[in-house]
Amino acid sequence: MATRLDSEYQDLKRRVHQFLVERLDEEGIDVGRAARASLQAFVQTNISAFISQNRVPLSAQDMILLTRESFDEVVGFGPLEPLLADDSVNDILVNGPESVFIEVAGVLQKAHTRFIDDDHVVRVIRRILAPLGRRLDESSPMVDARLPDGSRVNAVIPPVALDGPSLSIRKFARKHLGAQDLVNSGSISASCLQILTSLVTTRRNILVSGGTGTGKTTILNMLSQFIPADERVVTIEDAAELQLNHPHIVRLETRPANLEGTGQVTARDLVINTLRMRPDRIILGEVRSGEILELLQAMNTGHEGSMSTIHSNSARDALVRIETLLAVNGYDAGERAIARLIGSSLDVIVQLVRLPGGRRLVSEVVALKATADDPYRMEYLYQVHR
């Protein structure tokens, strides 16, 4: 049932919520512990009471809507609930109370929903963070978190966010698209898939490159399925997303600093540690920072067949990005030495693009060949003609 966006209804919702919170408090009900069914009954009874006491004219249909939405407010994440429950929604982006966008099948669109006001957005953000012991206030206005279902959340509030609290949710993909799905949907040609499969089995070091949401993690996951079962794999991620169907796997996850500002475990820490774990291959979810150095060194020293992804719009840009990451993270070597390190460790860049209609595509597969005068001469193994 579609919600009502008008301010009259929103105002009613706000008053009802306040009333319910007071009533719960009076009854000493702990929402976290109470049974769902009894909470449902409690919400229903009290809304009926509120509506009749205040003589609010409300259609039967709006009454059902108000009850459902108020229940979502009390026990869940309010307006986010229907979007979280909808499997066709991949991303939820809240730019402010009245500006909620969703991504469905690769297309960004305005969602038919809203929050009441800024406070409402902040209330939902705090509810997400509460069980995690993470704080969000003027002194730490940005936070990363994860929902119980594995979805990744980022929240930014003023003063950093200029137009009010903002929330970005990348929903946890319950099931990644497999090789056959990607071929069927035209994201990868059968011949390209064959090339990639043999690159994996012959232990090439592969970097998947693309913009946000182009399907990097999806492709990384798909490629990992072709790792032979007798090899030992260690995965390193900021938020466990990969679902490798592999018998010999150790999964590691980075950890942000706690409230006291300690206890942080970076991807770099984990790559270094992984080298002591005797892996055959390292799968790093995404290269973002200094861990690139250890990854390249690992690729060069007995861990061939390692893979990662990088945020970049072309194979060329990916190389520039790596050079920059090395330079700003203290790899103090000349331009030539940097290029040589990259050229000797990285074998292949798989470039992804997202077309205007939302379709994702493996657009290029580029092999890097180190020659005497060019540390990484690019050789196209595959290229889509568009």
Ligand X SMILES: Nc1ncnc2c1ncn2[C@@H]1O[C@H](COP(=O)(O)OP(=O)(O)O)[C@@H](O)[C@H]1O
CB-based contacts of 13: which residues, under 8 Å, 6+ apart?
A: 66, 69, 70, 73, 116
Cα angle 307, 313, 317; round to 5: 80
* Residue among 121 and 177 whose Cβ is closer to ligand X: 177
**Residues, the chain:** 386
* Chain residue at closest Cβ approach to ligand X: 215
CB 271 within 8 A of CB 284: yes
Single out the residue of 56, 23, 14, 59 nearest to residue 41, CA to CA.
23
Spatial distance between the Cα atoms of 64 and 44, rounded to a whole number of angstroms: 9
74 backbone dihedrals φ, ψ, rounded to 5°: -70, -45
Give the residue, chosen from 46, 113, 209, 217, that forms a contact with Mg ion under the rule CB under 5 A: 217
H or E element at residue 349: strand 348-354
Q: Is 221 in the site for Mg ion (CB under 5 A)?
A: no
Q: Residue 218's binding partner, choosing from Mg ion, ligand X, none, with beta-carbon cut-off 5 to 8 A by kind?
A: ligand X
Whichever of 106 and 228 has its CB closer to ligand X, that residue is 106
| Chain residues in the site for ligand X (CB under 6 A) | 90, 106, 173, 177, 182, 185, 187, 210, 212-218, 360
CA 41 to chain centroid, in Å, comes to: 35
Give min distance, CB of 242 to Mg ion, in A: 9
Amino acid 43 reads V
Instruction: Return the number of the residue (82 or 285) whose C-beta is nearest ligand X.
Output: 285
Structure tokens at 27: 């009854």
Smallest gap, in angstroms, from Cβ of residue 236 to Mg ion? Answer: 13
Pick one of ligand X, Mg ion, none as the site partner of residue 187 (Cβ within 5 to 8 A by kind): ligand X
- Of residues 205 and 218, the one with the C-beta less far from ligand X: 218
Cross-strand pairs, 350: 208, 365
Q: What is the nearest approach in angstroms of ligand X to the Cβ of residue 103?
A: 7
Question: Segment contacting Mg ion (CB under 5 A): 144-152, 166-174, 185-193, 210-218?
Answer: 210-218
**Residue 252 binds what, of Mg ion, ligand X, none (CB under 5 to 8 Å, by partner type)?**
none
The size of the interface with Mg ion (CB under 5 A), counted in residues, is 2
Shortest Cβ 145–ligand X spacing (Å): 18
Tokens 């390692």 belong to 306
Q: How far is the CB of 367 from ligand X (least distance, A)?
A: 22
For residue 129, the number of C-alpha atoms closer than 13 Å in the C-beta half-sphere is 22
Residue 239 or 275: which CB sits closer to ligand X?
239
Residues that bind Mg ion (CB under 5 A): 216-217
